[in-house]
A = this chain, B = another copy of it.
Amino acid sequence: MNPVFPIPDRIELFAVPGLGEIAPGDALGVALCNAVTQAGLAFEDGDVLVIAQKIVSKAEGRLVELASVIPSPFAVSLSESLDATPAKDPRAIEVVLRESRRIVRMDAGLIISETHQGYVCANAGVDSSNVPAGFLSLLPVDPDASAARLREEIRVHSGRDVAVIISDTFGRPWREGLTNVALGVAGLAPLQDYRGQKDEQGHTLSATVIATADELAAAAELLMGKTARRPAVVIRNFPALPGSGSATGTGADLVRPREKDLFR
């Protein structure tokens, strides 16, 4: 677990405008650096770049054409029995099953599964929004590796050491609405551990570990929107421990191991 950052008095967030369409094979880090420059902005050391999973998946070619998918008998059966409106395409269900290593709940028209990366989310992160018609997007195979690559690309192209968070909006039990969370993390401690520290009254804090990377992702989403072409946001003046690299942890640390989880 990681120590606690110094707490900043003030932070600011700004969206990276004008990124444009990203296609499989595009150098996303270079495109980001160019978009930042064209907007009259510049990366600074210690910035946190939060980027939506969808655009990373596009750059990495993590798209599946529905027409190429042959649904299994189980996917066809689910398509008929799941109480979804509109009914789910059995080919889309097949893609969800392929991205899943385990089903957690299957009810109310929803498939909530554990992905091969370990995330628990609806439809294994498979999504049809903001991708070409007839295609579905998949989560990056290894979001931490994607974040590390993107960070290195930005370092090479801009000379700046930024932390990178690849985010996606996930639902959660008990509360309405989705919030943005961190999938891949590079150059930033994802968790801050206050255990053993003392509060104002000298009381030792026993159970407080804050998911900082998820809070950074959530903050960035406020500037993303879902229909605007604004998939990248920079958070400035947050002490993200630049340069400490992978020693500070990755997004995988945010995934609770199944044996510690009371809700799987």
Judge whether A35 is part of the interface by a CB distance below 8 angstroms. no
**In the complex, which residues of chain B have a beta carbon less than 8 angstroms from the beta carbon of A132?**
201
On chain A, the number of residues with a Cβ less than 8 Å from chain B's Cβ atoms is: 78
Judge whether A128 is part of the interface by a CB distance below 8 angstroms. yes
How many copies of the shown chain assemble into the complex? 2
Contact assessment for B216 and A179 in the assembled complex, using a CB-CB cutoff below 8 Å: no
Given contacts A12-B13, A15-B9, A178 and B211 within 8 Å (CB-CB): yes
Q: DSSP majority for the A interface?
A: loop
Contact assessment for B174 and A208 in the assembled complex, using a CB-CB cutoff below 8 Å: no
**In the complex, which residues of chain B have a beta carbon less than 8 angstroms from the beta carbon of A64?**
none
**In the complex, which residues of chain B have a beta carbon less than 8 angstroms from the beta carbon of A254?**
175-177
Give A residues with C-beta under 8 Å from B: 4, 7-15, 17, 105, 107-108, 110, 112, 119-120, 122, 128-133, 169, 172-181, 190-191, 194, 197-203, 205, 207-212, 214-216, 218-219, 221-230, 238, 253-256, 260-264
